[in-house]
């Protein structure tokens, strides 16, 4: 073997020994940085002070007019529930699957049940516990069964009347999941008896349970009517309209443009109304009309306010309705 060959073998063996000797040994020397600018960049961490800017903040607001990649919400049907013309879309833009409905049920139970109830009848614990909230509407009325999916989404996204917006609490897809579950609730509560017989359901037991519940509620109402009712004063009426949120739609100063007609000088006023059958007539606002409007507001609606949606306050006791009527009368000079 030549001297060069021996030298090569010696070098290889020597390098192997050196590398083996380095394994597992600790060193107090700084690590080697072949490319220093990769580890020590001129950048700032989140929340770090940055003297370059006047406010000393390293985290900057987006440049006005710019949108981060992937955050352009140009699909108005999905994000807002409206089409290009601003009208509510008719159908849910998300594919309906079993897992999607189950997600909607879970979110509904968390956010909606306290007010709207487990079946969507508007009798959640907050509405029936005597807390003074404006009653939530039932989802099983003809109006809400015929409402578009976009309108239901808008109520969650924007809020409606005294219901606040849940946009910061419920993500977009979860809002649509809740809409889908509301539709499932509506279908479940609007099944024909002949169709129910096609399923494994004890219909007779359910009907008896319903009758028992109605009897219980009737007994409670009868017991409540026998209680000593307080005097139906305007002061009590003012308290009741505040508790039930009436002023959210009806002002008392005569200002125009409200959701409902003003109560200022309403009593004794000759008003044009449209009946639930579409007939127009002129009536004088008296106690009978006010009571009817509280208990069954759809029977005669003031012309100009036909699109307004007022729920029936038929849960109020007789003396409470009398007190509200007395309060409305007190706002008139007639």
Cα–Cα nearest to 120, from 134, 128, 108, 130: 108
Q: How far apart are CA 219 and CA 269, in angstroms?
A: 39
DSSP string spanning 85-126?
TSPBPSS-SSPP-HHHHHHHHHHHHHHTHHHH-TTSSS--HH
Helices (H), 189-226: 193-196, 203-226
User: Which residues are CB-neighbours of 127 under 8 A, at least 6 positions away?
Assistant: 115, 117, 133, 135, 136
Q: How far apart are CA 13 and CA 61, in angstroms?
A: 60
Three-state SS at 319: helix
* pLDDT computed for residue 213 by the predictor: 81
* pLDDT computed for residue 219 by the predictor: 77
CATH number of the structural domain 76-188: 1.10.760.10
Q: How far apart are CA 197 and CA 316, in angstroms?
A: 37
* pLDDT computed for residue 65 by the predictor: 85
* pLDDT computed for residue 172 by the predictor: 93
Q: Answer whether 44's CB lies under 8 Å from 58's CB.
A: yes
Q: Tell me the CA distances in angstroms from 190 to 72, 121, 312, one per residue in order.
A: 40, 12, 21
Using CB atoms within 10 Å of the CB of residue 197, give its burial: 0 to 12 exposed, 13 to 18 middle, 19+ buried: exposed
Q: How far apart are CA 306 and CA 280, in angstroms?
A: 12
94: left (phi over 0), alpha (psi -120 to 50) or beta: beta
* pLDDT computed for residue 326 by the predictor: 93
Q: Answer whether 167's CB lies under 8 Å from 145's CB.
A: no
Q: Tell me the CA distances in angstroms from 164 to 87, 120, 154, 167, 281, one per residue in order.
A: 21, 18, 11, 9, 36
Strand pairing partners for 49? Answer: 57
Q: Tell me the CA distances in angstroms from 228 to 220, 232, 236, one per residue in order.
A: 15, 12, 15
Residue-level pLDDT, tens digit, the chain, 334 residues: 576 666 677 676 666 656 555 556 677 877 776 666 666 677 788 888 988 889 999 888 888 888 888 778 888 899 999 998 989 999 999 999 999 999 999 999 999 998 898 889 888 888 776 666 778 888 998 889 999 999 999 999 999 888 889 999 999 999 999 999 999 999 888 777 777 777 777 878 888 887 888 788 777 766 666 666 678 899 999 988 888 878 878 888 888 777 888 999 999 889 899 888 888 999 999 999 999 999 888 889 888 887 767 778 877 888 889 999 999 999 987 5
* Single pTM value for the model: 0.50
* pLDDT computed for residue 36 by the predictor: 64
DSSP state of 248: G
* pLDDT computed for residue 305 by the predictor: 83
Positions of CATH 1.10.760.10 in the chain: 76-188, 234-330
Q: How far apart are CA 115 and CA 136, in angstroms?
A: 6
Q: Answer whether 241's CB lies under 8 Å from 321's CB.
A: no
For 234-330, the fitting CATH number among 1.10.1040.10, 3.40.50.620, 3.30.70.380, 1.10.760.10 is 1.10.760.10
* pLDDT computed for residue 39 by the predictor: 66
Q: How far apart are CA 270 and CA 282, in angstroms?
A: 7
């Amino acid at each position: 073997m030549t001297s060069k060959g021996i030298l090569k073998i010696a070098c290889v063996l020597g390098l192997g020994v050196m590398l083996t000797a380095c394994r597992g040994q600790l060193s107090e020397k700084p690590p080697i940085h072949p490319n220093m600018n990769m580890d020590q960049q001129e950048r700032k961490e989140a929340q770090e002070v940055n003297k370059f800017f006047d406010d000393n903040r390293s985290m900057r607001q987006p440049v006005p007019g710019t949108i981060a990649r992937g955050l352009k919400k140009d699909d108005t049907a999905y994000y807002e529930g409206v089409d290009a013309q601003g009208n509510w879309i008719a159908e849910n833009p998300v594919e309906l699957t079993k897992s999607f409905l189950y997600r909607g049920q879970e979110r509904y139970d968390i956010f909606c049940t306290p007010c709207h109830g487990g079946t969507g009848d508007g009798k959640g614990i907050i509405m029936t516990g005597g807390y003074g909230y404006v009653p939530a509407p039932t989802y099983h009325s003809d109006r809400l069964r015929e409402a578009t999916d976009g309108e239901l989404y808008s109520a969650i996204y924007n809020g409606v009347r005294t219901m606040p917006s849940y946009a910061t609490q419920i993500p977009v897809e979860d809002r649509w999941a809740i809409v889908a579950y509301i539709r499932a609730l509506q279908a479940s509560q609007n099944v024909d008896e002949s169709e129910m017989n096609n399923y494994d359901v004890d219909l007779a037991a359910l009907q008896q349970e319903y009758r028992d519940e109605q009897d219980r509620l009737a007994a409670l109402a009868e017991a409540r009517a026998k209680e000593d009712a307080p005097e139906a004063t305007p002061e009590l009426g003012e308290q009741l309209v505040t508790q039930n949120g009436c002023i959210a739609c009806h002002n008392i100063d005569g200002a125009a443009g409200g959701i409902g007609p003003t109560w200022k000088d309403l009593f004794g006023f000759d008003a044009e109304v449209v009946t639930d059958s579409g007939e127009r007539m002129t009536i004088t606002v008296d106690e009978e009309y006010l009571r009817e409007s509280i208990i069954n507001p759809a029977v005669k609606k003031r012309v100009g306010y036909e699109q307004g949606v007022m729920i029936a306050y038929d849960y109020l006791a007789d003396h409470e309705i009398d007190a509200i009527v007395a309060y409305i009368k007190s706002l008139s000079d007639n």
